[in-house]
Structure 1
């Protein structure tokens, strides 16, 4: 009996210690919040595109909450609205592409690209040149002298030039036509008002489903990378928050890559996936957070300088900063 009583006392003591430690940790977190020493809330400007998924998963699974971090994803419907929202000073970070990031940096917004969200490998974040089912265009050679619908001075034009050049075609040999709104671009393709267009997935997959021909795509050589940046002010004044963000982000990436079908509903509800392909569309493979390489960034900057899009002589270190999470 004495042995049993002793064991009970030990178990009781251990339970009391666990409870005390739990309460102490909770008090510490509350005190940190009161004193402003914990991570501050983070507000990120996003679009309804696939590279937002790890952030959506981190919120849904409670990974941000586990880090005692409040993250608000502010949705915009166009890159122009998103950039304007970022320049308002109300956002801490933004999900975008490297050309937009460089343009914002050049305009005076002090930012640092902290990770690639899609595009570490060529298979992630596909872009393609498409021709309509009725056209006689079947190769890059057939595009000479033809009209290609794009958006000027954008990642779309950068990918277009890269795909043409890789196929031995001088971009000057095609007629680029500005069609900024992607839905209009798609409509014009299928009504044969334009010879070809350039769009990203999931619209590439949708166009294929509708019979469009993929003339070239960036799945062998990496041309496009979507990125996430934070303002330098946020990185300096809320370093704990940014590090907590990426710890949660890493867990979400693992979940997405290990069990993609678990998140199809979340994808369909939050990302612009055309309804006819929603059930069959293959979810992306997502990279763990990592900064873009110097060559990829320099290629973008060289292209932008060639087109006289930048006023300042931007360097890799002006744009990129790695966040190491403890």
Structure 2
């Protein structure tokens, strides 16, 4: 390729990056952009939006939905969004790889479970050998929890006929006989139970009060907008307290396109601990989860607190 053309092309790319950086810097700089996943439940975010908590706290926000964790983490790494609700497994994986993010608040603990078909004759962990068991994927919290649970019982994922499956498809596949069981998170556990499946292993057996979803922010956003970070954490706290203290009202705010059955919504809220802040108990649970990942060869070593947690709380 002609060297002059390469030089011109490189110049265009540099100019384009500079323009994009400038636009991103000056455009809507006072708007906090928050990302979340289409498949996830983030009740605090939903409640904050629907009860106008962001405006009440003087925070202008834009909420953006993403299809998967990879899109979401790329968005926050590139500066397209400032903060996000994300599962702890992917947060740890991203932090280990050097993605400039910090956990600014806990959000959800627990809420996982392994359910099986009533026709499967699975009654104990040993009965899982050779069975068709699905999980959200190897990047999921549930993969870590199940791997650790099996290890404690002298087994491994290799003892199962394991596969990855969308949580929304697990119950359908069990009904069709394609799966003997699956490990997932709420409300999909409650949905499958409501449709006749049996809960074999609950969250407390897998890991009591295990970390699930957290609220993260980019290092750049934390550095440039410390007051907005404080406000965002406060809003998350207010929304969480609202849900925990007004569950009947909160149930009505959960999007109806995801769960229509009010009883399943109640089951969801009853089986997930909605939390906030960065207290020592939460950090200890994160440490415990990281130790499990190190033991399983998922993490090379535990991530230090100064690289993982926001220092403002």
TM-score by length of 1: 0.75
The answer to whether 1:156 aligns with 2:142 is yes
**Which stretches in structure 2 are left out of the alignment for 5+ residues?**
1-25
Residue 133 of structure 2 aligns to a residue whose secondary structure is strand
Hey, what does 2:305 align to over in structure 1? Answer: 316
Q: Is the 8 A contact 1:115 1:229 kept in 2?
A: yes
The answer to whether 1:133 aligns with 2:118 is yes
Alignment length (residue pairs): 278
Hey, what does 2:217 align to over in structure 1? Answer: 230
Matches of 1:239 and 1:185, distance apart in 2: 41
Hey, what does 1:117 align to over in structure 2? Answer: 107
Residue 108 of structure 1 aligns to a residue whose secondary structure is coil
Hey, what does 2:128 align to over in structure 1? Answer: 143
Matches of 1:156 and 1:47, distance apart in 2: 17
Hey, what does 1:93 align to over in structure 2? Answer: 83
1:286 pairs with one of 246, 264, 274: 274
Hey, what does 2:193 align to over in structure 1? Answer: 208
Hey, what does 1:76 align to over in structure 2? Answer: 66
Residue 120 of structure 2 aligns to a residue whose secondary structure is coil
Q: In proportion to residue count, which structure has more strand? A: 2
Residue 281 of structure 1 aligns to a residue whose secondary structure is helix
Matches of 2:161 and 2:62, distance apart in 1: 38
Q: Which moved more, 1:222-231 or 1:310-319?
A: 310-319
Hey, what does 1:58 align to over in structure 2? Answer: 48
Hey, what does 2:285 align to over in structure 1? Answer: 296
Matches of 1:152 and 1:265, distance apart in 2: 33
Q: Superposition RMSD on alpha carbons, in Å?
A: 2.7
Change (3 A) 1:252 1:295: closer
Change (3 A) 1:181 1:80: farther
Residue 267 of structure 1 aligns to a residue whose secondary structure is coil
Shift of 1:298: 2.8
Matches of 1:293 and 1:261, distance apart in 2: 27
Q: Is the 8 A contact 1:113 1:319 kept in 2?
A: yes
Q: Is the 8 A contact 1:47 1:77 kept in 2?
A: yes
Change (3 A) 1:223 1:287: closer
Kindly provide the CA deviation profile for residues 86-105 of structure 1, in whole angstroms up to 9, marking residues without a partner as x.
33321111111121011222
> Looking at CA atoms only, which structure, 1 or 2, has the larger radius of gyration?
1
Q: Is the 8 A contact 2:114 2:202 kept in 1?
A: yes
Shift of 1:206: 0.7
Matches of 2:288 and 2:146, distance apart in 1: 14
Shift of 1:179: 1.6
Q: Which moved more, 1:126-135 or 1:246-255?
A: 246-255
**Which stretches in structure 1 are left out of the alignment for 5+ residues?**
1-35, 120-124
Hey, what does 1:261 align to over in structure 2? Answer: 248
Matches of 1:288 and 1:182, distance apart in 2: 25
Q: Which moved more, 1:176-185 or 1:245-254?
A: 176-185
Hey, what does 2:180 align to over in structure 1? Answer: 195
Shift of 1:318: 1.4
Shift of 1:262: 1.4
Kindly provide the CA deviation profile for residues 102-149 of structure 1, in whole angstroms up to 9, marking residues without a partner as x.
122233311111111011xxxxx4111111121111121211333321
Change (3 A) 1:224 1:195: farther
Shift of 1:313: 6.4
